Amino acid sequence: MDAVIKFTSQSQGRDRIFRATQYACALAIYLLRNHSERKDLVAKLKSLEAHMSAGRKLFRLGNTANSIEAAKRTMQLSDRVLSLCLTVANINRALYFFCDNVLWARSVGLIRNIDKERWSVNASRCYFFSLVMNLTRDVYVVLRLMLQKARDKRCRQKMDQHLSESPEVAEAVIPQLDAFIFLLLESLKSDPALALDTLKNICDLFIPLDKLGIYQSHGGVIGFCGLMSSLIGIVTLARPTLRIKP
């Protein structure tokens, strides 16, 4: 119970619970869309989804400053690739939160004379670039781990044994590709935080891709991906050892 209280007392914890609820509603709405007898339930779910979205905007009012501070910290990283990826990601995240704050101010009537659609597109574009840079960081770290695994004598022996024990796979798949997949899986298994972060960023990427019209998805895909990334976010916040660093 203490862990639950501690989690929900954090603004990030409440935001992630709201986010999970929001996308769970979106997924449920998609699954129930053709059930005419569930119209009242669908209407309630749509209302709950809207309330969760509005509540999250309120929780994120201070996140612009947090992202700027994070960008300042990542600029000091000794690894230049990580520094570039994370700094650009944090800057775009700060811009995304700024646009989100402007949209919130318009929704409550504090600002009136702005183009809501243009600001929404700008927010999605910044969110997209932030995710792309975070995914680039993930790929960079995965490749670095794979190189370390390839140089490790024990891992090479394990890979050779795997290839020799699967002759039918070797006939159907290019051996180099099978070795690449083996190293990839071994690298992800050795670093659960990296695996979770990569999966989370991939799931999140579908959201701005759909909003920007780059890759159109239906509500079920968006709801499922948003729910999955939200659950991963809850797990990594509750278990800091599963949160990727830096």
Does residue 76 come out as left (phi exceeding 0), alpha (psi in the -120 to 50 range) or beta?
Answer: alpha
One digit per residue, the tens of pLDDT, for the chain of length 246 reads 555 555 555 778 888 999 999 999 999 999 998 888 889 999 999 999 999 998 888 878 888 999 999 999 999 999 999 999 999 999 999 999 999 999 989 888 888 888 999 999 999 999 999 999 999 999 999 999 999 988 888 888 887 787 676 655 555 455 677 788 889 999 999 999 999 999 999 999 999 999 999 999 989 999 999 999 999 999 999 999 999 988
Question: Measured between alpha carbons, how far is 190 from 172 in angstroms, rounded to an integer?
Answer: 27
Q: What per-residue confidence (pLDDT) applies to 122?
A: 96
CB 182 within 8 A of CB 162: yes
Residue 9: what are its φ and ψ, rounded to 5°? Answer: -80, -15
**Which residue is listed with tokens 């994070």?**
70
Q: What per-residue confidence (pLDDT) applies to 175?
A: 63
Q: What per-residue confidence (pLDDT) applies to 3?
A: 59
Q: What per-residue confidence (pLDDT) applies to 107?
A: 85
Q: What per-residue confidence (pLDDT) applies to 43?
A: 94
What's the pTM value of the predicted model, to 2 decimals? Answer: 0.90
The number of domains in the chain is 1
CB 67 within 8 A of CB 90: yes
Domain, as residue range, for 235 = 2-242
CA nearest neighbour of 71 among 53, 89, 49, 48: 89
Q: How many CB atoms lie within 10 A of CB 188?
A: 17
User: ω before 246 within 30° of 0 (cis)?
Assistant: yes
CB 85 within 8 A of CB 140: yes
Q: What per-residue confidence (pLDDT) applies to 131?
A: 98
Q: What per-residue confidence (pLDDT) applies to 177?
A: 77
